[in-house]
Amino acid sequence: MLNKEIIEIVNNFKKTGWMPEPEAKRLFAMAGLDIPGFAWAHTPEKAFRFADQTGFPLVAKVVSPRIIHKSDVGGVITGIDSKDKLEMAYHAFSKLDGFDGMLVEETVTGQELIVGAKIDYQFGPVILLGIGGTGVEIYQDVTMRMTPIDKGDVISMIDSLKGGKILRGFRGGEPVNLDALTLLLSGFSSLVTDLEEHIQSIDLNPVMCSGKRCVIADARIILNGTNLA
Amino acid sequence: MNLDPIFKAKTMAVIGVSSHNDSHPANVIYNKNHFRYPLTVYPVNPKGGTIKRETLYRDITDIPDKIDLAVIAARADFVPDIMEKCIRHEVGGAVIISGGFAESGKGNIQKRMTDMAREAGFPFIGPNCLGIYSPQRIDTLFLPAERLIQPSPGNVAFVSQSGGVMVDSMVKFTRQGIGISTATSIGNKALIREIDMINYLAGDPRTRVIVLYIEGFEKNEGRRFVLTAERCPKPVVVMKGGRSHAGSKTVSSHTASMAGDYRVFSDIMKQHGILEARNEMELASFCEALSSYQKCISGKIGIITVSGGHGVVAVDNCEDLGLDVPQLSEATRDAIREHFSSSIRSIASLSNPIDLTGSALDDDFLAAANVLVKSKEVDCLLVLILPYSPGISAELGARISHICKTEDKPVIAYIPNEEKYAMLIEGFELNKVPVSYSVEGAVLMAKALMRDEKC
């Protein structure tokens, strides 16, 4: 069920049409989904404090209501291993359009997946699972299911992906934690059902899935009634 | 709404029959039902007069009989008034053949009519459709019968948004020995839609398989459709028209750009155990198989052939479609070998596929089939028969079928489609064992039986 806070977050961003990453992640955390530890820093010092608690390496991402595709403008830096690099990232981001602070996150590893949702005209809320990474739109190794989805659906989704074997541990690779993936997908499915009237689509891209966790490393929520080109 | 008056009509009024133009659609419908179907049919035209010595009634309310079904082939503008009279005269339902409604920008007339029908609980099919067809019972298709190939009665129900696709499929089904229970062209589907048809056909004792040609659903209707089809105790097969991705929508997210309408449709059908046929060959193969067998299989296929090459091709097709061709146990092989004729005992190959070789006799087929229908190692049998082999007789079809009837295990045959082999083919088909005229088609039939992993 949606609590007041989730509805408030959604309503706050109806005007811009999409929800920036820190807010989207806060929303997923409230819905019980796994996200990386993060801090939203408006000064380099706040980023340093987070680094002291979490340790390196870290990921830094620009926060800006005007930047929807962060990596296209150099707004994502991974593998940050020192305070110097963290500060450099902060200064570089501060020159970007609409800069509203920097997101600092723990580095999560694993198999890159894409998990998505869209409100389909004919079928209502639909959940997507696919092999992630930069080639996601080229290979289009994805599969869709109508909500609600259960554990059987998750298994059949994995089996319908060409890359499903990778998730099950291909050639000595670590298999992903299927329980964690099932939890993520079913939790996401019920959140999407609850948000049906408010959203157009959601990308969780990538979701990093290892033998231990399935973590939403990046997220974008496109709200209803928006027309982003 | 009760659709029985439409599908089980005993009395029919055809509205729009012309007194001078016998090729008018209403006349075609009147003539065929009046002369050839077990119905009492009344022609209606506001001008009155006679047709073929029968009274042409000026108004449906003048007919001195209770009318089950009104077939309306009048101009769109007149249809709401006609429907109002039908309701007043307590007609059971209508098929509206006429076009010129929502499809040509006159959604307002269609809406008025639909609202009226819904309020009165008056079921109607269409408008802008071919209506309904049920072999030997009723036929509202305005196509002259001599132009069609008469479908035979059977247990496949066809529901189609397109009348053309429906008729063309029925013609092809007939050639392949697939019989029809009812075919319904729902046209603009203003009132009676796919979901209503599934609900009705689920309770129709003549129907065992429901096939739908679908172009699109209304908002959230797809969701209700799959839930209805999933609950339906009879297998549901769909064919989707219009698969191209409408590229005009905004693609602000990866998900929205990848989850195109057709991919979503296709994946969701699979999720809910609804079989999707992607082309005519799949459609016919699925229908033929499901018309014989409703029980699901897990997909362990046993193959019996007289040609090694056909066995190889069948295995390739099985692999492509996700069917398994398991190795047979030593015990099973021994049991089969024991009953082989001396001419093949030392040369037949007993791995799966079982290759009986060109020296095989009928009895060798029966020996292998006898063991495999009882074995738990396979749950479906594919029998590839090349009647060119000298040891195969015309009785083989019936003889294999009889073995299968003793066990609850589906058997599917491949035989080349030549008149010469008709008796062999009929030996199977009369016993409800489906025959495909290609190896690929036979494997598709097996695939159809695997439609739902949940059962």
Q: What is the pLDDT of residues A32-67, one digit of tens each?
A: 999 999 999 999 999 999 999 999 999 999 999 888
Q: Find the CB nearest B267 among A18, A145, A220.
A: A145
Choice between B453 and B376, residue whose per-residue pLDDT is larger: B376
Chain A: residues touching B (Cβ < 8 Å)? 18, 68, 114, 116-118, 120-124, 126, 128, 130, 136-137, 140, 142-146, 153, 156, 160, 200-203, 205, 220, 222, 226-229
Q: Which residue in chain B has the smallest CA separation from A129?
A: B255
Q: Find the CB nearest B254 among A114, A143, A145.
A: A114
Q: In this predicted structure, which of B204-208, B225-229, B402-406 has the lowest mean pLDDT? A: B402-406
Residues of A in contact with B257 (CB under 8 A): 137
- pLDDT attached to residue B59: 95
Nearest to A70 by CA among A183, A218, A227, A194: A218
Question: Helix, strand, coil proportions of chain A in percent (round to 5)?
Answer: 35, 30, 35
DSSP state of B351: S
Report the alpha-carbon distance of residue B435 to residue B176 in Å, rounded: 8
- pLDDT attached to residue B256: 82
Query: What tokens does A84 get?
Result: 């110097």
- A151-160 and A178-194 are packed helices; what angle lies between their axes, rounded to 10 degrees? 110
**Quick check: is A215 in a domain?**
yes
Q: Find the CB nearest B264 among A137, A144, A203.
A: A144
- Mean pLDDT for B215-226 is 95
A209 lies in the same domain as A129 = yes
Is 70 exceeded by the pLDDT of residue A190? Answer: yes
- pLDDT attached to residue B136: 93
Question: Helix, strand, coil proportions of chain B in percent (round to 5)?
Answer: 40, 20, 40
**Sheet of strand B40-44, all strands in order from the earlier edge strand to the far edge:** B40-44, B11-15, B69-72, B93-96, B124-125
Q: What is the CATH number of the domain that holds A129?
A: 3.30.470.20
Start-to-end CA distance of chain A, whole Å, equals 32
- pLDDT attached to residue B255: 83
A116 lies in the same domain as A187 = yes
User: Across the interface, do A118 and B256 touch by the CB < 8 Å criterion?
Assistant: yes
Which tens digits make up the pLDDT trace of B131-187?
Answer: 999 999 999 999 988 888 888 999 999 999 999 999 999 999 998 889 999 999 999
- Mean pLDDT for B421-433 is 94
Assign A22 a pLDDT band (cuts: 50, 70, 90).
Answer: confident
- For residue B301, what are the β-bridge partners? B380
Is 60 exceeded by the pLDDT of residue A172? Answer: yes
**Whole-number percent of chain A with pLDDT over 70:** 97
Cβ-based neighbours of B449, under 8 Å, separated by 6 or more: B289, B290, B293, B295, B296, B297, B380, B410
Q: Which residue in chain B has the smallest CA separation from A160?
A: B267
Is 80 exceeded by the pLDDT of residue B119? Answer: yes
Q: Find the CB nearest A145 among B255, B265, B268.
A: B268
Assign B248 a pLDDT band (cuts: 50, 70, 90).
Answer: very low
A78 lies in the same domain as A17 = no
**Whole-number percent of chain A with pLDDT over 90:** 70
**Sheet of strand B275-277, all strands in order from the earlier edge strand to the far edge:** B138-139, B131-134, B180-185, B153-160, B209-214, B236-240, B275-277
- pLDDT attached to residue B198: 98
Residue A87 sits in which domain range?
A: 38-106
- pLDDT attached to residue B261: 87
DSSP string, A142-201: EEEEESS--HHHHHHHHHHSTTHHHHTT-TTPPPP-HHHHHHHHHHHHHHHHHTTTTEEE
A205 lies in the same domain as A115 = yes
Report the alpha-carbon distance of residue B159 to residue B198 in Å, rounded: 9
A89 lies in the same domain as A148 = no
Q: Find the CB nearest B252 among A126, A160, A228.
A: A228
Residues of A in contact with B252 (CB under 8 A): 18, 68, 200-201, 222, 226, 228-229
A123 lies in the same domain as A201 = yes
Which tens digits make up the pLDDT trace of B186-198?
Answer: 999 999 999 999 9
Report the alpha-carbon distance of residue B444 to residue B440 in Å, rounded: 6
A175 lies in the same domain as A102 = no
**Sheet of strand B301-305, all strands in order from the earlier edge strand to the far edge:** B354-355, B301-305, B380-384, B411-414, B435-436
A83 lies in the same domain as A173 = no
Instruction: Specify burial of residue B160 (Cβ count, 10 A radius: 0-12, 13-18, 19+).
Output: buried
Per-residue exposure over B30-55, b if at least 16 CB sit within 10 Å of its own CB, e if not: bbbbbeebebbbbbbbeeeeebeeee
A22 lies in the same domain as A95 = no
Which tens digits make up the pLDDT trace of B31-43?
Answer: 999 999 999 999 9
**Where a domain ends, among A83, A106, A129?**
A106
Assign B422 a pLDDT band (cuts: 50, 70, 90).
Answer: very high
Cβ-based neighbours of B226, under 8 Å, separated by 6 or more: A123, A146, B268, B269, B271, B272, B274
Residues of B in contact with A222 (CB under 8 A): 252-253, 256
Residues of B in contact with A146 (CB under 8 A): 223, 226, 268, 271-272
Assign B251 a pLDDT band (cuts: 50, 70, 90).
Answer: low
**Quick check: is A197 in a domain?**
yes
- pLDDT attached to residue B150: 86
**AA identity, residue B103:** E
Report the alpha-carbon distance of residue A58 to residue A49 in Å, rounded: 12
Query: What tokens does B68 get?
Result: 């089950």
Dihedral in degrees, nearest 10, Cα atoms B439, B441, B442, B443: 90
- Mean pLDDT for B429-440 is 95
**Quick check: is A228 in a domain?**
no
Choice between B214 and B246, residue whose per-residue pLDDT is larger: B214
Is 70 exceeded by the pLDDT of residue B252? Answer: no
Is 90 exceeded by the pLDDT of residue A14? Answer: no
Query: What tokens does B116 get?
Result: 């009226």
- pLDDT attached to residue B242: 85
Is 70 exceeded by the pLDDT of residue B249? Answer: no
Q: Find the CB nearest B267 among A116, A117, A143.
A: A143
C-beta separation of B160 from B166 below 8 A? yes
- What's the mean pLDDT when you consider all of chain A? 91
**Where a domain ends, among A106, A130, A160?**
A106
Nearest to A79 by CA among A61, A101, A56, A62: A56
- pLDDT attached to residue B126: 95
Fold of B1-127: Rossmann fold (3.40.50)
A135 lies in the same domain as A180 = yes
Is 60 exceeded by the pLDDT of residue B247? Answer: no
Residues of A in contact with B246 (CB under 8 A): none
Which tens digits make up the pLDDT trace of B265-321?
Answer: 999 999 999 999 999 999 999 999 999 998 899 999 999 999 999 999 999 999 999
**Quick check: is A63 in a domain?**
yes
CB pairs under 8 A between A and B: 100
Q: Find the CB nearest B253 among A116, A130, A145.
A: A116
**Quick check: is A229 in a domain?**
no
Instruction: Give SS3 for B367.
Output: helix
> In terms of CATH architecture, what is B129-292?
3-Layer(aba) Sandwich (3.40)
User: Across the interface, do B252 and A226 touch by the CB < 8 Å criterion?
Assistant: yes
Per-residue exposure over A206-221, b if at least 16 CB sit within 10 Å of its own CB, e if not: bbbbbeebbbbbbbbb
**Where a domain ends, among A90, A106, A122?**
A106
Per-residue exposure over B162-189, b if at least 16 CB sit within 10 Å of its own CB, e if not: bbebbbebbebbbebbbbbbbbbbbbbb
Residues of A in contact with B270 (CB under 8 A): 160
Nearest to B133 by CA among B114, B149, B119: B149
- pLDDT attached to residue A201: 93
Is 60 exceeded by the pLDDT of residue B361? Answer: yes
Locate CATH 3.40.50.720 in chain B: 1-127
Choice between B296 and B11, residue whose per-residue pLDDT is larger: B11
Q: In this predicted structure, which of B3-17, B366-380, B396-410 has the lowest mean pLDDT? A: B396-410
Total number of domains constituting chain A: 2
Q: Which CATH number fits domain B296-448: 3.40.50.261, 3.30.830.10, 2.40.50.320, 3.40.50.720?
A: 3.40.50.261
- pLDDT attached to residue A229: 38
Q: Which helix (H) or strand (E) holds B183?
A: strand B180-185
C-beta separation of B295 from B289 below 8 A? no
Residues of A in contact with B219 (CB under 8 A): 121-122
ipTM over 0.90: no
A139 lies in the same domain as A203 = yes
Nearest to B269 by CA among B246, B293, B243: B243
Query: Residues for chain B: how many in total?
Result: 455
Instruction: Give SS3 for B159.
Output: strand
**AA identity, residue A215:** V
Query: Mind telling me how many Å the CA of B219 is from chain A's nearest CA?
Result: 5
Report the alpha-carbon distance of residue B435 to residue B442 in Å, rounded: 7
- pLDDT attached to residue B455: 40
Query: What tokens does A69 get?
Result: 């595709």
Instruction: Specify burial of residue B17 (Cβ count, 10 A radius: 0-12, 13-18, 19+).
Output: buried
Q: Find the CB nearest A203 among B218, B222, B254.
A: B254
User: What are phi and psi for residue B73, nearest 5 degrees?
Assistant: -130, 40
- pLDDT attached to residue B221: 97
Query: Mind telling me how many Å the CA of A18 is from chain B's nearest CA?
Result: 10
Q: Which residue in chain B has the smallest CA separation from A161?
A: B267
**Quick check: is A177 in a domain?**
yes
C-beta separation of B27 from B21 below 8 A? yes
Q: What is the CATH number of the domain that holds A66?
A: 3.30.1490.20
- What's the mean pLDDT when you consider all of chain B? 94
Chain B: residues touching A (Cβ < 8 Å)? 216-223, 226, 250, 252-259, 261, 263-265, 267-268, 270-272, 453
Is 90 exceeded by the pLDDT of residue A15? Answer: no
- pLDDT attached to residue B453: 52
A10 lies in the same domain as A82 = no
Cβ-based neighbours of A146, under 8 Å, separated by 6 or more: A123, A124, A125, A126, A127, B223, B226, B268, B271, B272
- pLDDT attached to residue A1: 60
